[in-house]
Structures are given as C-alpha cells and as structure tokens.
Amino acid sequence: MSTENWQNQAAETQHNSEGQQYLSFVLDAEEYGIDILRVQELRGWTPVTPVPDMPEYIKGVLNLRGAIVPVVDLRKRFGLPEKDYGPTTVVIVIKVDSGTKERIMGIIVDAVAETYTLTQDQIQPPPQIGGGISSEFITGLVAQEEKMIVLMDIDELMNSDELAIDVPALSNAK
C-alpha cells in the first residue's frame, strides 16, 4: 500500500464520519481486517512460554508489562500451512470482549498491512463457504483495489473452543 492510498483513506475518514477504521494483516497471502479500536499494540515476535496440554494453536503466554497474555497462532488456528516466524511476524495485542470481562490476548500474523476506513455499505455480507477460515468468524468482505479483505469477528474467534473462559476441564486422554 502506498502512502498516497493511506492519505486517501485519511481524507475519506474526514469526509465520512460514519466510517470505521480497520487494521489489516496478512495471513498466508490473504488479507484480513479487524476493528482498529480493538488493537492495543503491535509487538515483534518473541518466544513465549508454552502452556502444557493446550491445542497447538495456543502458542503459550507472554509477559506484557507484568500481565500474562495468551498468544494464538492464527495460521495454526485456521489450519493453514506453517511458516517460520521471521522479522515481519507480528503479535497483535487485542482486547477481546469475553462477556463478563475484557481479556487481553495476542494473535500471531505474518505481517501487518494497512489501515482502512470503511463504511457499512462497502462491506459485503460473508459468504456461506469461507476460504481459509471458518465462516462463523467472518463478519464481512470488502473489495479494495482488486484485493479482497476478510473482516474478522475477533470476539467470536477468541472466545471459541479452548479459548473460552469456562471450558470443561480438557480431557487429558491423548
């Protein structure tokens, strides 16, 4: 994305107050967007402490200035092919609404791409059958310059399966 584009987007924000800003990131050559207000910070990849007996996609926990924050590898979460973590690998620290409380969690993505300001009418409804990720986590699709951006519902995603607060004790039988 060019600076010009960013400026266009910024200008658009001013013109369209109803627009919502999204941060997009790259995952296996696809671009996904999440509500930018949910993003607390971006961190480079540093090794995390694995938590025993968790599904593979929960990489572990990291120390975020004293808070213990779980980190999820989105590639693994969606069953995408593995890729070594490199200099562009980013942990996006997000605020997740978990019903009774807000949790701080991290997601590992290939790289951060852009920010967009999108209005409601630019967003198309999610398809019945998704691509890389399950359609239940998709809130909509947006076409931007011949690219498709998948908007993700992070609350749905980060409260699913073993990430949910009250999961009955995991079966230890493996």
* Residues of the shown chain interacting with another protein in the complex, contacts defined by CB under 8 A: 47-53, 60-63, 65-70, 103-105, 163-167, 169-174
* CA gap 31, 47 in Å, rounded: 25
The least CB distance from residue 43 to another protein, in Å, is 13
Q: How many CB atoms lie within 10 A of CB 126?
A: 17
Closest CB to another protein among 61 and 142?
Answer: 61
How many CB atoms lie under 10 A from the CB of residue 10?
A: 12
To another protein, the closest distance from the beta carbon of 97 in angstroms equals: 13
Strand 30-35 relative to strand 90-97: parallel, antiparallel, unpaired? Answer: unpaired
Pick between residue 37 and residue 68 the one whose CB is nearest to another protein: 68
> Which CB, 47 or 86, lies closer to another protein?
47
Per-residue burial over 90-121, b if 16 or more Cβ lie within 10 Å, else e, is bbbbbbbebeeeebebbbbbbeebbbbbbeee
Please report how close the Cβ of residue 91 comes to another protein at its closest, in angstroms: 13
**What is the nearest approach in angstroms of another protein to the Cβ of residue 121?**
36
